[in-house]
Amino acid sequence: VLPRLSLLYKLTSKLTTRLGGGLGYKAPTIFSEEAETEGFQKVQPVNIQNSKPETSIGGNLDFNYRTALSENLTFSMNEMLFYTQLNSPFVLNYNATNNTSEFINAEGYLSSQGSETNVKLKYKDVAFYAGYTYIDAQRHYGGLDVVNPLTAKHRINLILMYEVEKKIRIAYEAFYVSSQKLSNGGATKDYWVMGVSAEKKFKHFSIFINAENYLDTRQSRYQPMYSGTMQNPQFVEIWSPTDGFIFNGGFKISL
């Protein structure tokens, strides 16, 4: 049983606040991004006798505000503060003696704290969504404090949508991810991902098109995805989209 508690309080007719918290648990496993980056090559099975589960504790406080600015214009905003601590995290450790890697419990903990802001502005059939997330993730292992790799501190998401229910929907999306630290101490580029989608609905069917990541943002444009030979590749860490620009369309039938 993993306990979780949540309390909701209505401050005014337009403003509410929620306080929550809980505990987490995860059994040891080799199936993780770290092992996948290595292609699971030379990754030893989990030593159950010398391993213990990861446990976590976390909490969040958020505020929700909603109001009508005019007859056709509404505004809502959510602000959330959060903190999570992961104890005895399972990390991949390289053993130079036999040239293999194995998962062990780190001596310390991983912390993640930050805030998330979401705003929605709607005028008749047009809606605008904006979100910003700040994350400060730190590894506290063996008395040292370092930034957790592959965790962007800043993220922005923007959506502009026109929608008439049961008739048409057109949306434009844009996402920003700031630079991230790599496990080797290097840093990645920041990047934007943008897309457009549209759907037209009829009585018994609808047609749609999607242009995803039309800026063709992909990691292979900035660096090779692996080193070494085809027989023994050494894959790099994944920090951005890998598929690039995708265009598709189709139709849906409603009976």
pTM over 0.75: yes
3 state DSSP class of 50: helix
The residue type found at 177 is V
User: Does residue 63 have a pLDDT over 80?
Assistant: yes
* Residue 172, both tokens: 């434009």
User: Does residue 160 have a pLDDT over 70?
Assistant: yes
The predicted structure's pLDDT at residue 239: 95
Average pLDDT over residues 238-247: 95
Average pLDDT over residues 150-161: 98
* Better pLDDT: 226 or 136: 136
Q: Residue 224 CB: number of other CB atoms within 10 A?
A: 8
3 state DSSP class of 12: coil
> How is residue 31 annotated by DSSP?
-
The predicted structure's pLDDT at residue 49: 83
> 1 pLDDT band (50/70/90 cuts)?
low
> 190 pLDDT band (50/70/90 cuts)?
very high
Beta bridge partners of 215: none
The predicted structure's pLDDT at residue 224: 92
* Better pLDDT: 188 or 235: 188
The predicted structure's pLDDT at residue 116: 98
3 state DSSP class of 37: helix
The predicted structure's pLDDT at residue 47: 85
CA distance 187 to 60: 29
User: Does residue 38 have a pLDDT over 80?
Assistant: no
Q: Are 196 and 174 in contact (CB under 8 A)?
A: no
> 212 pLDDT band (50/70/90 cuts)?
very high
Average pLDDT over residues 225-237: 84
* Residue 79, both tokens: 């602000």
Q: What is the mean pLDDT of the chain?
A: 93
| Residue-wise pLDDT tens digits, 98-138 | 788 888 899 999 999 999 999 999 999 999 999 999 999 99
Q: Which residue has the tokens 């502005």?
A: 121
* Residue 31, both tokens: 């199936």
3 state DSSP class of 200: strand
